Homo-oligomer: A and B are copies of this chain.
Amino acid sequence: MPKPRSAPRLADVALRAGVSIATASRALARREGVSEAVAAHVREVALRMGYVANIHARTLAGGATSTVGLIVHEIGDPYFAEIASGVIGVASQRGFSVQICHSGRDPAGELHQIRTLIAHRTDAIVVAGSGYTEPAMQAESNALLTAFQETGGRVAVIGRHHIAADAVRPDNEAAGAAAAAHLLTLGHRRIGVISGPPVLTTVADRLAGVEKALAAHGLTLDDVPVLPTDFTRNGGHSGAERLLAEHPDLTALIALNDLMAIGVLSVLRARGIAVPQQMSVAGVDDVAVAADLAPSLTTVRLPMTEMGELALTMALKPPSARRRRKNTGHELIVRDSTGPVPPVR
């Protein structure tokens, strides 16, 4: 095993190129103040030596960090993968690296990741996971992030968080309402709601939207079964099984995200319940695969990739006196998983 000699430094390059480190630095940063001939030579030497500037030294010396942090619940979840894709896109276009962490849908995990990101002195932090309905659960995160911002750090959150920072606000309530209204308009009244952990603001808001739509038709959330479960494919799966067993008369199911809707559809298929002839199903998010399910999933589109792009773009702007807030749009996408109420047998 070769003894780990250290990587070439600026001084090595300068020496080999026969110039001072200042000149070398200028040449490599393509700053002015160096004759083109010398600059080219320095770059050539650096290339040959495989020189890559040490970001830490550069940062410490006052240059920009050029890294941003992104906190998601779990990158394997397509909702977050799409957001991450948007964040990375903007980041790389503007010369930033992105550090991704899992909060694991847990306030303590979130706090831990925030701490890590702050230690890394990232220029900005984007918190993409859902917020929590209970302000206390994010009090420490908020304190940390506030301090971070006071020392020049930038922060943007996606969703409704109890964090004082710029925010991209997905149209969760409207999305939930749109999904429910669609079903109600089709004539459904016996609608089961497969919900997520009530502590998540995303869940609470989407549920509030459903409630609002119900109200427009003279119903309340007490008139329909609401089952809180995991905000995942398997949550949707088990939720559907339970709801179907306890409420055999349902004609429609709303899953509060597409992942759960996928689980719901799998239960229906396994039981031979025809969608949408016997049961309508709607989701929220419009993950990429929603259009390719069979039946294709009726859902409410939230522009995830764009949300990621927007969040980082906001975070990279110079800070404003008051917190910026940007609402996303939403769009009901009617596909094949929803239809009119089946005739009573």
Q: Which A residues have a C-beta under 8 Å from some C-beta of B?
A: 1-2, 4-7, 50, 52-57, 59-60, 65, 67, 74-76, 78, 81-82, 84-85, 88-89, 92, 97-102, 115-121, 143-144, 147-148, 150-152, 233, 262-263, 265-266, 269, 288-289, 291-295, 305, 319-321
Contact = CB atoms under 8 A, between A and B. Distances in A.
Contacts of A295: 294
A151 B81 contact: no
Contacts of A76: 78, 81-82, 84-85, 288, 305
Contacts of A54: 60, 119, 121
Contacts of A147: 7, 50
28 contacts: A5-B150, A6-B151, A7-B151, A50-B144, A52-B115, A54-B119, A54-B121, A55-B56, A55-B120, A56-B65, A56-B120, A57-B60, A75-B75, A75-B85, A75-B88, A76-B78, A76-B81, A78-B78, A84-B100, A85-B102, A97-B99, A97-B117, A97-B120, A98-B99, A100-B100, A266-B291, A266-B292, A293-B294
A56 B54 CA distance: 10
Contacts of A56: 55-57, 59-60, 65, 120-121
How many copies of this chain sit in the oligomeric assembly?
2
Contacts of A233: 288, 292
A119 to B, nearest CB: 5
Contacts of A60: 54, 56-57, 60
Contacts of A121: 7, 54-56
A145 to B, nearest CB: 10
B144 A4 contact: no
Contacts of A88: 75, 100-102
Contacts of A291: 266
A292 B265 CA distance: 8
